[in-house]
Chain A
Amino acid sequence: MPLYVLKRLALLVPMLLAVSVTVFLILRLGQGDPAMSYLRLSNIPPTDEALATARQELGLDRPLPVQYADWLGKAVRLDFGRSYVTKNPVLDEILYYLPNTLILAGFSLFLTLAVSLPLGAISAVEKDKLPDQLVRGLSFFGVSIPNFFLGFVLVWIFSVKLRWLPSMGMGGLDHMILPAVTMSLMSLCINARLIRANMLENIHARFALYARARGLSERAVTGRHVLVNSLIPVITAVGMHVGELFGGAVVAESIFSWPGVGRYAVSAIYNRDYPVMQCFILIMTAIFVTMNLAVDILYAWIDPRIRLQGESK
């Protein structure tokens, strides 16, 4: 087991390297010119001379391999350069905004699990009855609605019309509700359906039958045996949800002016701030990969079948 973890961790290095090359090239092969954006932000008429000066200042006048080697040499020492726009060290900026995103994403994850679990369970237990139909309807709606649209609809209802919740900024728990619902609704609905399907499968599984045969109450069978066993695939799903939540954060943070790393990345994209985009994508890759690794480990730990299978080999 420790060897497996180490191996997986070691794989991170070539993976991040490959991602960094790809990102570096894609950004530069793409449209737009950061020097031009810089001048636009500075309100300087983009004359040839001004563009040349800006390119030199941003280090864009050097050949691509030189630029990459320079960037990589510094990046391995955790120096990701300075933002073209704010002129501050990129890592400092991202680490400044990252906790805000983690708070929001963490709350969204909590919301996803806390709501999807009962919804999925009700749906399974009350199969084909009204509660199940309601949950299924909600799931269909939640999976179909794009989050950028949902965000504005929520704001319109709860901030503009009802004035129950603030529409923007960071503050107490109340500031988190709308962005978190926006981010988590889709994962929540997928999860609810997943739990429902698993439970329906497990309700007739042999272990449930044996439990009933042992004279356990139906409540104990459902709650202790069927539900718990249905949660194992949910762990895998959570690994994916984390990715979805970070992706969703980019949208939700822009809509709700949440000072997180997602909104920061959107501004960086808009301003062609290469160093920020490179660092952001790398960190997101690292988070994503580590989460998947954590899920795999957790999985093995929870489900003896997987663990024992691995050991018997």
Chain B
Amino acid sequence: MQSRFSLWLLALCLFTAAVSGIPAASAAGEGETLVYSWNSNVGPLNPHLYSPNQMFAQGMVYEPLVQYQADGSIAPWLAESWNISEDGKTYDFTLRQGVVFSDGTPFDAKAVKMNFDAILKNRKRHEWLELINQIESVTVLDPRTARITLREAYYPALQELALIRPPRFLSPSAFPDDGDTSKGMKAPIGTGPWKLVEIKKGEYDVFEANERYWGQKPFFKRLVVKVIPDSSARSIAFETGEIDLIYGSGGHGGGQLGLDEFKRFQASKDLVTDVSGPLATRSLAVNSNRFPTNDLAVRKAILHAVDKKAMAEHIFLGVEKQADTLFAPNMPYCDLGLPPYAFDLEKSAELLENAGWKLDPASGYRMKDGAELSLDLCFVGNDALQKAVAEVIQGDLRKAGIKVNLVGEEPDSFNVRQKNGEFGMIFDDTFGVPYDPHSFCSSMRVPSHADYQAQLGLPMKKELDAKIGQVLTATGEKTRASLYRDILTTLHDQAVYLPLTHMTSIMVHRPELKDVEFGAAKYDIPFEKMRR
């Protein structure tokens, strides 16, 4: 009796389990659909606003007047050509003929003016971008020619016109009735290769190829972007065929894929993986205005004592490569052939020895005039990557007789230190493509930046700031190149930055997916070139 009862119960158990036995869904990306994933929905895709609009998607739907190329140069895009006045204040853009928005509205000078007027209405929101501060007015010369007038000459105007937001173009037909796009728009209609056709909150967004696109039309008819916030979940979704492509910055958290998982995919023969060229530089600012790093010899000794190669290999698993200069040589004006501070403990010791820093055998650290060679390295405490890097540097510098105190704090305190210069060394990454080098150099003049604070002890700081001011307004290409050479050489010689690695993007896909390339900037994803 008892056993029959048990059998009955067991059957119920099995039944409960079996009710659910439905076969798994088939792979999502087949034929004419490409499936990608992102941390969140792409947002309403207003070209003139920020979060929650996702940059990579804004870049798919909207296009700039000019395009930033991988080598740092600027190429024609919606503008076929342009003419810059002698004084560098007036830019006349001749617009490409036959371009229409995805709803058929023609793209003309009026549309350009309408969009810039909307952006300028919301100036405060865009004040971080110097171009917007510099634009005085935008006028229509004729249907195919638009003029942008600047307050002062500003050479990076073209670079910044290539940005994904805000200087891109919404169809006049999609403008709100009062013309103020900062409050909303009727529909996300641009000139780009893709159209946003469906938003399913928390699940996916769907794009379709823009049949009216003027350039190379996408090979795929549809692009589905699934919402996957977790990087481990993303790697599983890729393995089970729910997504076709992993593309973006590496690392857990905000990245597309953890570096360890990327390495695992890299080891697989059935997959295609790639790492992009340098997009930005992970670096530390070294304080020239504070003991003991106010001594040039100490700064140089530090740069010689850090084994970046080992760091790139073991912390960044080879995905990020060692950086020898503040800006990678592929950034505009940055291929200067500056001699790297090679990893050389003997050289480091010699520099310190000559500067009067003698090793104290008791502590293992160097001393001078009774003061220990000790400095604070500041980082964001809960940032695992910064912590790991900081610990490696602490270990490396110990071998050189330099004591490093690790100061891991919450982001607020970390930012305060960046602003008021209370650090020996502090994490200070460059802004990256396409803001490097001009925006980053520009910010070196602002007292609330770690760069300014770190450079304050340099005897030529004033001169340096003046040169940065000059380079931004210089109109001659040669003048600019020579000014940048001066600025970057000085910063390099003065050893106020400890560049560590160059940040990169990663990609993983199956070999069936072809022509997957890295875009020029972090959020340029050339989906239109991909095919199966």
- Is A235 an interface position by the 8 A CB rule? no
Within residues 210 to 263 of chain B, which ones have a CB less than 8 A from any CB in chain A?
226-230, 232-233, 236-237, 239-240, 242, 253
Chain B residues with CB under 8 Å of A264's CB are 202
Interface string of A151-168 (1 = CB under 8 A from B): 010011001100111111
Chain A residues with CB under 8 Å of B232's CB are 152, 255
Query: Nearest chain B CB to A135's CB is how many angstroms away?
Result: 10
Are B228 and A122 in contact (CB-based, < 8 A)? Answer: no
Chain A residues with CB under 8 Å of B354's CB are none
Are A33 and B448 in contact (CB-based, < 8 A)? Answer: no
Within residues 163 to 187 of chain B, which ones have a CB less than 8 A from any CB in chain A?
none
Query: Nearest chain A CB to B224's CB is how many angstroms away?
Result: 11
Knowing A165-B24, A168-B237, the reply to whether A259 touches B227 (Cβ < 8 A) is: yes
Interface residues on A, range: 35 or more
Query: Nearest chain B CB to A180's CB is how many angstroms away?
Result: 8
Are B240 and A174 in contact (CB-based, < 8 A)? Answer: no
Are A47 and B5 in contact (CB-based, < 8 A)? Answer: no
- How many chain-B residues does the 8 Å CB contact rule pick out? 58
Per the bound structure, the CA–CA distance linking A266 and B40 in Å amounts to 12
- Is A207 an interface position by the 8 A CB rule? no
Chain A residues with CB under 8 Å of B1's CB are 217-219
Within residues 440 to 468 of chain B, which ones have a CB less than 8 A from any CB in chain A?
443, 446, 448-449
Interface string of B372-395 (1 = CB under 8 A from A): 000000000010000000000000
- Is A63 an interface position by the 8 A CB rule? no
Chain A residues with CB under 8 Å of B25's CB are 166, 171-172, 174-175
Total A-B contacts with CB atoms under 8 angstroms apart: 164
Per the bound structure, the CA–CA distance linking A92 and B55 in Å amounts to 25
Query: Nearest chain B CB to A25's CB is how many angstroms away?
Result: 16
Are A163 and B233 in contact (CB-based, < 8 A)? Answer: no
Are B236 and A160 in contact (CB-based, < 8 A)? Answer: yes
Chain B residues with CB under 8 Å of A36's CB are 411-412, 415
Knowing A115-B13, A255-B230, the reply to whether A219 touches B236 (Cβ < 8 A) is: no
Interface string of B41-68 (1 = CB under 8 A from A): 0010000001110010000000000000
- Is B362 an interface position by the 8 A CB rule? no
- Is A303 an interface position by the 8 A CB rule? no
Q: B237: nearest residue on chain A (CB-CB)?
A: A168
Interface string of B2-17 (1 = CB under 8 A from A): 1011100110110011
| Between-chain CB contacts (< 8 Å), 26 pairs | A32-B410, A33-B415, A36-B412, A44-B50, A47-B448, A96-B202, A118-B13, A125-B2, A126-B6, A152-B236, A164-B23, A164-B24, A167-B237, A167-B242, A168-B240, A170-B203, A173-B20, A174-B24, A222-B2, A254-B230, A255-B233, A257-B229, A257-B230, A259-B227, A267-B40, A270-B253
The 6 closest A-B pairs by CB, nearest first: A259-B202, A42-B50, A31-B410, A118-B9, A41-B51, A174-B22
Mark B residues whose CB is within 8 Å of A. 1-2, 4-6, 9-10, 12-13, 16-17, 19-20, 22-25, 39-40, 43, 50-52, 55, 124-125, 127-128, 201-203, 226-230, 232-233, 236-237, 239-240, 242, 253, 382, 410-412, 415, 419, 431, 435, 439, 443, 446, 448-449, 523
Mark A residues whose CB is within 8 Å of B. 31-33, 36, 38, 41-50, 53, 85-87, 96-97, 100, 111, 114-115, 118-119, 121-122, 125-126, 131, 152, 155-156, 159-160, 163-177, 217-219, 222-223, 254-257, 259-260, 263-264, 266-267, 270
